[in-house]
């Protein structure tokens, strides 16, 4: 494999958007930040130097990091933050990932502005499983907050309410049209008639799943979450925060200008940013612009059917070159109820003001981030940092989509992990509930990609639901949308020893405690054991 070196300086940079300005945290002054380019199986050493006034960490979203949780990044899960003025070199170990992934800060809400793409090219002397595109372009969907994101989440925590929503979505850092303040700086993608382009799309939005489309153009999705898929030709996609999609776009319409746009998909009464973001697809050549540039037709914000109709078309390649490895006989089954709830605060010790505060939970435990990292505590057998008693309930205890009552409205709080033996064939069923607020939850697992074998509405039924599974070509992903009032079942082999964070990728839910940790124990050989810790790990306290 080849080795690549990157230097990331985390620092404040001045930006102007939407007729207002602020300084915000960036990597190397970029929003989005720099792109990491590797080939399949390569290794990247990224030296992160922190010039911010508070601690930060960086996560390589979707990179499995075999046996190397030390460089995975989530704050106080696998490392303590890099302190101001200090640096840490992440060793990012690629294995079978292909296509597009991304990196982002993984401490409080800094990922809003600290993120960038990871481009994974095929191994040398091999090709894409589709015709070579004429050119490639990264498209990152993000959010623009006029305020400081750290203040926004700190204020929300202090009041126990919903954090302020963003002021705009953005494509490659630009809120786009129609917006008097930013028309000039909006992102433009220039294409030549007849050519095909590879668009690497990342959803780096904080709190909303997104629809995306390009006026008058169908396109073909060829990869998803760092794995190639059977081509899906469509006029729009739905992409959750955390997910990535590689798209082939052929410039086959009359040379002109066309809008590409993204709008939220948010089937819930919680507040969301209701604006659209757009960019221009601009053909080269001489032509007269139409009086109004066509805008894509995207599904309505609450259109669950449109979201499902796209998502359920995604299938693994499952070819000779890209075989799948779906566990057939499950040895560890974990059932997780995913809820938004409330915590009753008798005093400030519950992490909020007195009275109720919004919370979120997995199996009725609202996760509390420890003050030193779980990986170190586990590796050095330190007690008192986390409990290994994350509850696993069989699915028949509650009617999750019915009236579940106060016992699930008010979860307990704790730092609880689930230990799994090396090599187990794991199935996790996520069951959405309507406890506080029923909505979709994009659940993300670090250290793995997994197969989404089934999904449905209502309660998961242990007898009938598995008969609907796809075990032939299920999508291999790292983030899945658990449907509102429904369930999703995933499978994987626990073949990566380490401490791996699992959480909702809607940032407000993660902040409220919709998180847990899977600890995959060492196997019996050195090759199935966690690597030794790097020498310069950031210190805690
Ligand atoms: Cu994309 Cu735990 O993160
Ligand atoms: Cu969620």
Count of domains forming the chain: 3
Q: Check pocket membership of 104 for ligand 1, CB cut-off 6 A.
A: yes
258-275 pLDDT tens trace: 999 999 998 777 788 888
162 in the same domain as 252 = yes
- Rounded Cα distance between 22 and 512, Å, is 27
Would you say 245 and 237 are in contact if contact means Cβ atoms under 8 Å apart?
A: yes
361 in the same domain as 417 = yes
Q: Which domain holds residue 247?
A: 130-316
109 in the same domain as 61 = yes
172 in the same domain as 302 = yes
Q: Check pocket membership of 508 for ligand 1, CB cut-off 6 A.
A: no
Determine the distance separating the centroid of ligand 1 and the alpha carbon of 61, expressed in angstroms: 6
479 in the same domain as 443 = yes
346 in the same domain as 312 = no
Q: With respect to residue 324, please indicate whether it lies within any of the assigned structural domains.
A: no
478 in the same domain as 450 = yes
Chain centroid, CA 397 distance in Å: 30
Ligand closest to 511 (CA) is 2
- List C-alpha distances in Å: 13 to 2, 30, 170, 439: 32, 8, 18, 35
Which atom in ligand 1 lies closest to the alpha carbon of residue 111?
A: 1
Determine the distance separating the centroid of ligand 1 and the alpha carbon of 471, expressed in angstroms: 26
Ligand closest to 242 (CA) is 1
Sheet holding 257-265, edge to edge: 188-191, 277-283, 257-265, 209-214, 236-239
Identify whether 178 is preceded by a cis peptide bond (ω within 30 of 0): yes
The percent of the chain in helix, strand and coil, each rounded to the nearest 5, is 10, 40, 50
Q: With respect to residue 200, please indicate whether it lies within any of the assigned structural domains.
A: yes
Q: What is the dihedral of CA 16, 110, 481, 234, to 10 degrees?
A: 30
**Token pair for residue 116?**
């960038």
Determine the distance separating the centroid of ligand 2 and the alpha carbon of 271, expressed in angstroms: 14
- Say yes or no to pLDDT of 283 above 80: yes
- List C-alpha distances in Å: 366 to 57, 230, 344, 350, 513: 22, 38, 12, 11, 4
pTM comes to 0.96
256 in the same domain as 166 = yes
- CATH code for the domain of 458: 2.60.40.420
Q: Strand pairing partners for 55? A: none
Q: Check pocket membership of 357 for ligand 1, CB cut-off 6 A.
A: no
Mean of per-residue pLDDT scores for the chain: 93
Ligand closest to 225 (CA) is 1
Q: Check pocket membership of 444 for ligand 1, CB cut-off 6 A.
A: yes
Q: Which of 126, 154, 174 marks a domain boundary?
A: 126
- Say yes or no to pLDDT of 400 above 70: no
Q: Check pocket membership of 111 for ligand 1, CB cut-off 6 A.
A: no
At residue 393, the pLDDT reads: 59
Atom 3 of ligand 1: nearest residue by CA position? 61
500-516 pLDDT tens trace: 999 999 999 999 999 99
Which atom in ligand 1 lies closest to the alpha carbon of residue 102?
A: 1
Ligand closest to 209 (CA) is 2
């Amino acid at each position: 494999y080849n080795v690549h070196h990157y230097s990331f300086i985390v620092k404040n940079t001045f930006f102007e958007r939407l007729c207002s300005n602020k300084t915000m945290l960036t990597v190397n002054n970029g929003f989005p930040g720099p792109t990491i380019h590797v080939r399949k199986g390569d290794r990247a050493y990224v030296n992160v130097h922190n010039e911010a006034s508070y601690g930060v960490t960086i996560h390589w979203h979707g990179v499995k990091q075999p046996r190397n949780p030390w460089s995975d990044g989530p704050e106080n899960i696998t490392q303590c933050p890099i302190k101001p003025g200090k640096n840490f070199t992440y060793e990012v170990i690629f294995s079978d990932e292909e296509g597009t992934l991304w990196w982002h800060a993984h401490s409080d809400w800094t990922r809003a502005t600290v993120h960038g793409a990871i481009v994974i090219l095929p191994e040398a002397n091999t090709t894409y499983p589709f015709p070579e595109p004429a050119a490639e372009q990264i498209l990152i969907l993000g959010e623009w907050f006029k305020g400081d994101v750290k203040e926004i989440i700190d204020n929300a925590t202090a009041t126990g309410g919903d954090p302020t929503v963003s002021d705009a979505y953005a494509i490659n850092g630009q809120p786009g049209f129609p917006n008097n303040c930013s028309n000039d700086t909006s992102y433009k993608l220039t294409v030549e008639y007849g050519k095909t382009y590879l668009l690497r799309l990342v959803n780096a939005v904080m709190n909303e799943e997104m629809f995306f489309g390009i006026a008058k153009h169908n396109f073909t999705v060829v990869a998803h979450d760092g794995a190639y898929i059977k081509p899906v030709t469509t006029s729009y996609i739905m992409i959750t925060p955390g997910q990535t999609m590689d798209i082939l776009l052929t410039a086959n319409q009359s040379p002109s200008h066309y809008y590409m746009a993204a709008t939220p998909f948010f089937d819930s009464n919680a507040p969301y940013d209701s604006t659209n973001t757009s960019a221009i697809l601009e053909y080269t050549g001489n032509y007269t612009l139409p009086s109004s540039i066509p805008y894509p037709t995207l599904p309505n914000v609450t259109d669950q059917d449109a979201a499902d109709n796209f998502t359920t078309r995604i299938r693994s390649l499952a070819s000779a070159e890209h075989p799948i490895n779906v566990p057939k006989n499950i040895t560890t089954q974990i059932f997780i109820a995913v809820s938004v709830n409330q915590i009753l605060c008798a005093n400030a010790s519950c992490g909020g003001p007195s009275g109720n505060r919004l919370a979120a939970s997995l199996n009725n435990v609202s996760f509390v981030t420890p003050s030193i990292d779980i990986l170190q505590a586990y590796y050095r057998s330190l007690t008192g940092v986390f409990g290994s008693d994350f509850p696993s309930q069989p699915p028949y205890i509650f009617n999750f989509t019915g009236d579940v009552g106060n016992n699930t409205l008010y979860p307990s709080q704790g730092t609880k992990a689930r230990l799994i033996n090396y090599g187990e064939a794991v199935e996790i069923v996520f069951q959405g509930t309507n406890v506080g607020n029923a909505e979709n939850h994009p659940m993300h697992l670090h250290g793995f990609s997994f197969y989404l074998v089934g999904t449905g509405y209502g309660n998961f039924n242990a007898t009938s639901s598995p008969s609907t599974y796809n075990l032939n070509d299920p999508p291999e992903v790292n983030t899945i949308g658990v449907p509102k009032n429904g369930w999703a079942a995933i499978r994987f082999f626990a073949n990566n020893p380490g401490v791996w964070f699992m959480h909702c990728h809607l940032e407000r839910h993660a902040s409220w405690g919709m998180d847990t940790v899977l600890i995959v124990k060492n196997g019996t050989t050195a090759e199935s054991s966690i690597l030794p810790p790097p020498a310069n790990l950031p210190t805690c306290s």
